């Protein structure tokens, strides 16, 4: 199970002083950048795409800094595309093995890692595994309103 939080733009995010993955003493700040399209604005002759980019930093230990970096879902997708291209050129029959490894990596990341789902117009939507860390995160950031599947800031 994962818990989803909604953080208002402009509010700095407060993190428990522990590694998000294993609760060890954090030694690094993992960078996570996300761009989302939140709407289209129609003019007479053109459409402007409204999007927002946000970068956040969250605390991790050295080991999970590396793991979180390598296994981020958007990267796994790229690995899959690159493997697909290489394998179709070189005709290696190891693709099933590689894809199993990528799926395992994805499931592992979903179980332990941080995901930014959306940079909305007013809120940043992120999720982390259910547990003590998520509880502490919620109270540090005053996420007290339940709205749909989100625990939101007021």
Compute the distance between CA of residue 154 and CA of residue 138 in angstroms, rounded to an integer.
Answer: 12
Q: What are phi and psi of 130, to 5 degrees?
A: -60, 145
Q: Shortest Cβ distance from residue 2 to Zn ion (Å)?
A: 18
Contact (CB, 8 A) for 60 and 68:
yes
Should residue 5 be labelled a site residue for Zn ion when binding is judged by CB under 5 A?
no
Of residues 5, 15, 21, 32, which one binds Zn ion by CB under 5 A? 21
- Look at the block and give the residue holding tokens 């930093």: 57
Should residue 98 be labelled a site residue for Zn ion when binding is judged by CB under 5 A?
no
Of residues 19, 68, 71, 124, which one binds Zn ion by CB under 5 A? 19
Compute the distance between CA of residue 29 and CA of residue 11 in angstroms, rounded to an integer.
Answer: 18
Q: Tell me which residue of 63, 59, 74 sits closest to 137, measured CA to CA.
A: 59
Q: Shortest Cβ distance from residue 79 to Zn ion (Å)?
A: 22
Contact (CB, 8 A) for 123 and 87:
no
Contact characters 53-82, Zn ion, x per CB under 5 A: --------x--x------------------
Should residue 28 be labelled a site residue for Zn ion when binding is judged by CB under 5 A?
no
Binding stretches for Zn ion (CB under 5 A): 19, 21-22, 24, 61, 64
């Amino acid at each position: 199970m994962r818990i989803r939080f909604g953080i208002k733009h402009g509010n700095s995010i407060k993190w428990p002083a522990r590694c998000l993955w294993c609760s060890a003493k954090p030694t690094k700040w993992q960078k996570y950048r996300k761009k989302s399209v939140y709407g289209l604005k129609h003019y007479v002759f053109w459409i402007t795409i409204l999007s927002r980019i946000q970068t956040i930093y969250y605390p991790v230990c050295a080991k999970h800094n590396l793991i979180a970096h390598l296994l981020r879902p958007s990267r796994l997708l790229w690995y899959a595309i690159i493997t697909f291209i290489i394998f179709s050129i070189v005709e290696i029959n190891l693709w099933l093995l590689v894809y199993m490894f990528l799926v395992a990596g994805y499931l592992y990341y979903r179980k332990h890692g941080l995901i930014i789902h959306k940079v909305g117009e007013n809120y940043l939507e992120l999720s982390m595994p259910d547990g003590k860390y998520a509880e502490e995160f919620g109270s540090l950031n005053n996420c007290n309103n339940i709205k749909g599947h989100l625990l939101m800031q007021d």
